[in-house]
Amino acid sequence: MVRKGSKLPEKTKRKMSKASKGKKNPFYGKAHSKATKRKMSEALKGRKPWNTGKPRSEETKRKISKAMKGRKPWNTGKPASEEAKRNQSEKMKGRKPWNTGKPLSKATKRKISKAMNGGKKS
């Protein structure tokens, strides 16, 4: 029986969840083949995530911020491999900095001068 559009009671949901757990699950102990995994991957490609473009509430933003505090990226402190360095170098070749050819204002020059004062002369 298909129950389109009607929600199942919590008790029924729990029963269904329990029934499909462990050895009673028909897929228990099996694994998808590489071909099947590839098909599943292709089927999902190009789909837009359900929350793309949905605005986040301030409370949600605060929660995410709190959860991420104190976390460090996985590669912090790890030296990059020679291959990674080479790839990065190739990627950046031919790119010009955004401010190339733009004149610096007097205020900016003053700030740079102030920042450079007192430093070691090379």
The tens digit of pLDDT for each residue in 29-86 reads 999 999 999 999 999 999 999 999 999 999 999 999 999 999 999 999 999 999 999 9
Domain around 55:
10-118
C-alpha dihedral (61, 65, 68, 71), degrees to nearest 10: 150
26 domain residue, yes or no:
yes
What's the predicted TM-score (pTM) here? 0.43
- Containing H/E element for 44? helix 34-44
pLDDT of residue 120: 73
Structure tokens at 42: 């292709």
36 domain residue, yes or no:
yes
4 domain residue, yes or no:
no
Task: Name the pLDDT band for 122 (thresholds 50, 70, 90).
Answer: low
3 domain residue, yes or no:
no
pLDDT of residue 101: 94
Q: How far apart are the first and last CA of the chain?
A: 81
Distance CA 87, CA 81 (A): 10
Biggest CA-to-CA distance, the chain: 82
